[in-house]
Amino acid sequence: MANIASARKRARQAEIRRRHNQARRSMMRTKLKAVTAAIDGGDRAAAEAAYAEAVPVLDRMATRGVIHRNKAARHKSRLAHQIKTLG
């Protein structure tokens, strides 16, 4: 553990941020799983609805630095392609 007061404060702040980001990352993964489940089920309408919910979440997480912007773009691109090929 840190000995200097400022380092102790930094450690506290880092822990708070870690928990916050962990919750946001979990929410994002849940949204992605909903899209994947709809795609696996072959339901294009449900997949498009879940995708429309997931895209703003991905963009928000990228903007806030929880994930890299390229990772968000990669997820969106791959999911959109999978939905498009459902037929």
CATH superfamily of 5-84: Ribosomal protein S20 (1.20.58.110)
Alpha carbons within 13 A on the beta-carbon side of 26: 6
pLDDT tens digits along 34-50: 999 999 999 999 999 99
For the chain, give the number of residues: 87
Q: Domain residue spans in the chain?
A: 5-84
d(CA 40, CA 32): 12
Q: What does the pLDDT profile of the chain (87 residues) look like in tens digits? A: 789 999 999 999 999 999 999 999 999 999 999 999 999 999 999 999 999 999 999 999 999 999 999 999 999 999 999 999 987
pTM value is 0.86
